[in-house]
Amino acid sequence: MAGKDTQSTILLAEDDDLIAQMYTTKLTHDGFNVVVAKDGEESITQAGKGGIDLILLDIIMPKVDGFGVLEKLKKDEKTKNIPVIMLTNLGQDEDIEKGKSLGAYDYLVKANLTPQQVSDKIKSVLKEVGKKK
């Protein structure tokens, strides 16, 4: 596990306060820095500031939905290489396909996973991505 000086920063794009707090608590406990964005526009702005290692992206959000956010992030030179994990309650095959086709690294359905499983997935993705650099 990385030391406190090399903490990975996770951008959590989630408009539901209760869910955002639950994941923030879990991820902080597991040694991550967490930045929360409450809507799609804020997600794009935060990602563009730099220093984000991975994005957990909800789909149903105000202003710009997760698919729109993902599309913008993947077209921007500054943010296109940040791995994005869709974390949503939309579990239809067409939603999963759309997320992956737009460049999502993975697609997780909230109802199927515990915060611990999501945290473990983040660690796994960061490790995989780290090897590719």
pLDDT digits (tens, 9 = 90+) for 12-63: 999 999 999 999 999 999 999 999 999 999 999 999 999 999 999 999 999 9
Domains of the chain and any CATH numbers: 4-132 (3.40.50.2300)
Q: What single DSSP character describes residue 111? A: G
pLDDT digits (tens, 9 = 90+) for 72-86: 999 999 999 999 999
Q: What single DSSP character describes residue 94? A: H
- Better-scored residue on pLDDT, 48 or 5: 48
Burial 21-50 (b: 16+ CB within 10 A, else e): eebbebbeebebebbbbbbbbbbbebbeee
**Predicted confidence band of residue 105 (pLDDT cuts 50, 70, 90):** very high
Closest alpha carbon to 67 in 104, 32, 36, 93: 104
Q: What per-residue confidence (pLDDT) applies to 5? A: 47
**Predicted confidence band of residue 4 (pLDDT cuts 50, 70, 90):** very low
**Predicted confidence band of residue 3 (pLDDT cuts 50, 70, 90):** very low
- Better-scored residue on pLDDT, 132 or 106: 106
Residue 22's H or E segment, with its range, is: helix 17-29
Output the average pLDDT for the chain: 93
Q: What per-residue confidence (pLDDT) applies to 132? A: 61
**3-state DSSP assignment of residue 91:** coil
Q: How far apart are CA 131 and CA 36, in angstroms?
A: 26
